[in-house]
Chains A and B, each alone.
Chain A
Amino acid sequence: DTAVSQTPKYLVTQMGNDKSIKCEQNLGHDTMYWYKQDSKKFLKIMFSYNNKELIINETVPNRFSPKSPDKAHLNLHINSLELGDSAVYFCASSQDVYEQYFGPGTRLTVT
């Protein structure tokens, strides 16, 4: 019974391609997030949705587009992938402003 799941776990693709990462949570939480962890392990928020509405949109290239079809799902679509997009992407969820529960992460490698 995984609380926050992400697919795929690993994603290897070439520069210029478009890819998507899917996230689902079964915790009944109202808020979901995308974080990026770089090669130095630094974690930074990218986006957040609360009840399907975008509430946080950090300084992220517009090649990144989140989509929340319902409050249990938050997908991340990335256009025209670049080498610098290589990172681990984490999805997370929370109820209101309390602790956030993270998915297992998706390791994206752009070659």
Chain B
Amino acid sequence: AQKITQTQPGMFVQEKEAVTLDCTYDTSDQSYGLFWYKQPSSGEMIFLIYQGSYDEQNATEGRYSLNFQKARKSANLVISASQLGDSAMYFCAMREFSYKLIFGSGTRLLVRP
């Protein structure tokens, strides 16, 4: 079974609107971490936001927020007020008991002017 599932291979959003990128995960651990990374066309991997499994509040970083629903095992990324520079691949990742990150297959977001 896949550990991290991103069901949206590609998405469009109008500039200045909000967009939600879906991520569901599968783990039997009680302690884990969830991450989102952005990969623009230039290729680098940029860390966006982190949510710990014991964090009671949803993580926020500027225009990024993580909608963490533990019972549903989902960790969706919400980008508010989309900008053209947000066009990129977005990866959800999970860390269980070890140091390694397990990545989803990614969602390609295109922001329309």
Contact B44 A43 (CB under 8 A): no
* Number of A-B residue pairs at CB separation under 8 A: 55
Interface size class for chain A? 20 to 34
Contact A42 B47 (CB under 8 A): no
Contact A31 B99 (CB under 8 A): yes
Secondary structure dominating the interface of B: strand
Which residue of B33, B45, B105 contacts A42 across the interface (Cβ within 8 Å)?
Answer: B105
Which residue of A42, A100, A105 contacts B43 across the interface (Cβ within 8 Å)?
Answer: A105
Interface size class for chain B? 20 to 34
Q: How far is the CB of A63 from chain B (nearest CB, A)?
A: 21
Secondary structure dominating the interface of A: strand
Contact B47 A101 (CB under 8 A): yes
Q: How far is the CB of A32 from chain B (nearest CB, A)?
A: 10
Asked whether any CB of chain B lies closer than 8 Å to the CB of A108, the reply is no
Most buried by B among A50, A99, A103: A99
Q: Which residues of B contact A42 (CB under 8 A)?
A: 103, 105-106
Residues of B within 8 A of A (CB): 33, 35, 37, 39, 43-47, 50, 89, 91, 95, 98-103, 105-106
Residue pairs across A and B with Cβ atoms less than 8 A apart, 6 shown, are A31-B99, A45-B102, A90-B45, A97-B33, A98-B50, A102-B47
